Structure 1
Amino acid sequence: MTRTGAPTGTYSPAPPPNRPNRRNFLIASGAAATVAAAAGIGGQYLQNKRFSVNTSSVKLGKPAAKAEVLPKGAEITDIPGLSSFYTPNSQFYRVDTALVVPQVSPQTWQLRIHGMVDKPMTINFDDLMKRPMFDHDITLTCVSENVGGGYIGNARWQGALLADLLKEAGIQPGATQIVMRDVNGMNLGVATEPVMDGRASLLAVGMNGQPLPQEHGFPVRVVVPGLYGYVSACKWVVDMQLTTFGAFDAYWMQRGWSQQAPIKTESRIDTPKGGTVNGGTMMIAGVAWAQHRGIEAVEVGIDGTWHQAKLAVQDTIDTWRQWYYPWQATAGKHTLQVRATDKTGYTQTSVFHRPEPNGATGYHTVQVTVA
């Protein structure tokens, strides 16, 4: 994408799971080595060499409440190039903070909850699986997602409600932050309020009807709707400390990223991807997202003139929404853009901004030449 003016580019699907995405700035700054040293990656690597965890040993149970059927019309399947509503596990994006994917056995996994709580507690995997389980569709987004990029995916997650567990521990007044740590000691800091405000924040054990893949946090990860992953999506989670933002700066906060991290209202053109296309009727289509607010409308810009797109039926306000616009493509060069309006009435801004410190902004723009 360009660094000045309107952002340009096309959607690229996530790379294969054996070639994970990592934050470019993490590698470029040499911070990966720091994380590895602090988290004891060397020891984890040796551990990984000794055994391989069998994810199929985990059997997902029936949810406590009947899983909601995807509403009729919520998934568009007949437009080539349009992202599928559910992202297959093998294609779901990854942003890894571990140089080697941790392998954590369900038999040894434990979650410790401590700090500013009345009743510090530790729960093991068997105890977690006995708790009421819930299925919920949630779209996850990475803060380093460039406008029009692929660091986003949607899945049906199964897990226990994190808020219920924290209520049992008894959060003390003034505990504004939950510091979550993974098995390697990597820490993320999420605000307590959005975790406890009634949204479906999960200790997830399942992804699209299967146990979590190892690279996505097996056996347990955190999924919080509406917040960028760098504060909320802790994979291989084993520790939660209730504290304050004044008392502790989590890893990404120390590196200049914002504290609260609500996901911005954004949209992407999946097709056409740019270049030369044939004339006649063609579909401009893509996805739009405003997690925990929901998408109300999408507009497609063609050479500066905006047109109302057609929307798939909304699943939950925590997922993206597919959209499309039938275009009578005429010969010549054309500029295609997209913008979304969420259910609060906010329309995404055209102002281009890089991802740092709290998410990219701007219109996804595609240049096409109609033959």
Structure 2
Amino acid sequence: MSTTATPTAEQAPTPTRIRRPALLAAVCGVIAIAAFLAVAEFGALLLGGAGSPLVAVGSAVIDLAPPAAKDVMVGLFGTGDKIALFVLMAVITAAVSAGAGVLERARPPFGALVLAAGAVLALVAVTTRSGSGTWDGAPTVLGVAAAIVVLRVLLRRLRRWEAAAAVPSASPRPAATERRAFLVWSATAAAAAIVLGGASRAGTAAMQAAAAARRAVRLPRAATTAPAVPSGASLDVDGITPYVTPNTDFYRIDTALRVPSIDPADWTLRIHGAVDREVELTWDELLALPLQEHMATLSCVSNEVGGDLIGNALWLGYPIRELLARAGVQDGADMVLSRSIDGFSAGTPLDVLQDEGTAALLAIGMNGEPLPAEHGFPVRMVVPGLFGYVSATKWVTELEVTRFADAQGYWTPRGWSERGPVKLESRIDTPRGGTSLTAGQQVAVAGVAWQPHTGVKAVQVRFDDGEWQDAELADSVSADTWRQWVLRWTPEAGSHTIRVRAVSADGQVQTSVERQPAPNGATGWHTVQVSAG
């Protein structure tokens, strides 16, 4: 008779234990906060350097720190006080995030809530900074979402490893497999955070360097100044668009996912192609030229009827025609292909750039200050009378004299026309569509009208199906700028339709035919619906 041996206690499989699981959870927390910083800084980079939680929190600490603390930091670290601040912030952040990892392992979701609370503080710092924009908080939100995801994924792998190690088994293979998976996931997340964060900070640092270079620029006095804005150019009407558009309100449409960061000392412009001699211009050489001021209204071809992709500013620059004359344009050329440092290109009619009556500028200044980074710093093109897609190249570095038959700008092969003259347009700024008015009470119907390089001589308004009425026109600096207009109207009770049309200086009446922006600009009368009661 045979018997089956029963394993003794010494022979039975025993579970293994992970050494210091809390320490591993703390590491998960540190990796999660690294993911937060990497994603947030990358998001800030896409926003042109705005919205960085690292910079915002550091600035907030500096602003809120008592003078005694600042004195101690300066006394201890001298000019390295800001570096010391960031090191101290890193240590504190790592400690808190490590604790969040330990807490999340023991009592989820409290660790994730700690990260979320820290993100809220960072969000407050970002959104309360001077000059913060609507989207500046987005990088912080994306960053904390990434951090929570990374923390939970890594802790899930850690728990699986712990579970496998706790099960009695004759083979250590299941626990070893889960251990390897945890280490691979952790190492991958950490490496990705380091690479993305490092690249983002390098890009942001370049932006900050370019911003510092811009702040150091002192624009030279113009050799030819623009006429002063007439007192009658701005109507006293609530809700009307200002005659001069502040830089912060000027529309921005371009193909740059990230605003290029260019140190003026490194900028050059190359003029080549169908020319007698190539010309290369440096920043210092450009500043030494006799610069001109010119006020001009620019608009985007994507602007819908009644849209706001348009602005009027005072530009400082050098006439492009003079640079072309220096290069010596050859016969047969009819286009200049301008290229930006970010790869954008625009094909501009050569005759427009050579026209002495067109103030086509290689611009360095906007409303009395160096070009903002998002508007082309250090140098851009400004060509009155043409839509921006064929003329207003930002961050311009190259002008190639060529022919329309031989080259195309960025948007032409994408379905837009080769040449983009700005169309005669008008817009109602006030009252806005859907406004409820008081019957029998006079209201100002007002807005702007434009056809740069041609000018506007009249604006007419029609209420419902009535006769067209002439509006009062404000003054303007020149035909290259828009004009404000206003018509006083006393509405009767009921619903009303208000339409506007402009008449150009050469007698053209704005068309009523409605067309979409593609391929060469929208047309039609701007119309709003209001009610009075």
TM-score of Structure 1 vs Structure 2, range by shorter chain? 0.7 to 0.9
- The residue number in structure 2 matching 1:128 is 286
The CA deviation at 1:278 is 2.1
Asked if the contact 1:156/1:208 (under 8 Å) is kept, the reply is: yes
Residues in 1 aligned to 2:134 and 2:200: alpha-carbon distance in whole angstroms: 16
- The residue number in structure 2 matching 1:93 is 251
Residues in 1 aligned to 2:502 and 2:226: alpha-carbon distance in whole angstroms: 29
Per-residue deviation, residues 100-139 of structure 1 (Å, max 9, x unmatched) = 0111110100000000011101101000000111111100
Residues in 1 aligned to 2:228 and 2:204: alpha-carbon distance in whole angstroms: 41
Residues in 1 aligned to 2:408 and 2:437: alpha-carbon distance in whole angstroms: 50
Percentage identity across paired residues of the two chains: 47
Partner AA of 2:362 in structure 1:
L
Which residues in structure 2 correspond to 1:19-30 (within 5 Å)? none
Residues in 1 aligned to 2:268 and 2:372: alpha-carbon distance in whole angstroms: 18
The CA deviation at 1:17 is 6.5
Residues in 1 aligned to 2:133 and 2:316: alpha-carbon distance in whole angstroms: 21
* CA 1:45–1:193: 2 relative to 1, 3 Å: farther
Q: Which ranges in structure 2 are unaligned for 5 or more consecutive residues?
A: 1-131, 137-198
Partner AA of 1:368 in structure 2:
V
- The residue number in structure 1 matching 2:459 is 298
Per-residue deviation, residues 175-204 of structure 1 (Å, max 9, x unmatched) = 111111101221111110111111100111
Asked if the contact 1:179/1:240 (under 8 Å) is kept, the reply is: yes
TM-score using structure 1 length: 0.87
The reply to whether residue 184 of structure 1 matches residue 342 of structure 2 is yes
* CA 1:148–1:45: 2 relative to 1, 3 Å: farther
Asked if the contact 1:293/1:317 (under 8 Å) is kept, the reply is: yes
Partner AA of 1:188 in structure 2:
A
Per-residue deviation, residues 142-197 of structure 1 (Å, max 9, x unmatched) = 00000000100000011111111111011111111111110122111111011111
**SS of the counterpart of 1:368?**
strand
- The residue number in structure 1 matching 2:522 is 360
Asked if the contact 2:339/2:345 (under 8 Å) is kept, the reply is: yes
TM-score using structure 2 length: 0.61
Q: Which ranges in structure 1 are unaligned for 5 or more consecutive residues?
A: 1-15, 21-43
Question: How many pairs were matched up?
Answer: 332
Asked if the contact 1:45/1:100 (under 8 Å) is kept, the reply is: no
Residues in 2 aligned to 1:329 and 1:246: alpha-carbon distance in whole angstroms: 55
The reply to whether residue 339 of structure 1 matches residue 497 of structure 2 is no
- The residue number in structure 2 matching 1:61 is 220
**SS of the counterpart of 1:107?**
helix
Residues in 1 aligned to 2:226 and 2:245: alpha-carbon distance in whole angstroms: 18
The CA deviation at 1:260 is 1.3
* CA 1:92–1:17: 2 relative to 1, 3 Å: farther
**SS of the counterpart of 2:266?**
coil
The CA deviation at 1:301 is 1.0
Which residues in structure 2 correspond to 1:229-308 (within 5 Å)? 229-275=388-434, 276-279=436-439, 280-305=441-466, 306-308=468-470
Partner AA of 2:450 in structure 1:
W
The CA deviation at 1:72 is 3.1
Task: Return the structure number with greater relative CO, CA threshold 8 A, min gap 6.
Answer: 1
Per-residue deviation, residues 74-109 of structure 1 (Å, max 9, x unmatched) = 222x21100000001000001020100111110100
Higher radius of gyration, 1 or 2 = 2
Which residues in structure 2 correspond to 1:106-255 (within 5 Å)? 106-198=264-356, 199-255=358-414
Asked if the contact 1:17/1:91 (under 8 Å) is kept, the reply is: no
Residues in 2 aligned to 1:264 and 1:147: alpha-carbon distance in whole angstroms: 11
Q: CA RMSD in A?
A: 1.6
Partner AA of 1:292 in structure 2:
H
The CA deviation at 1:18 is 6.6
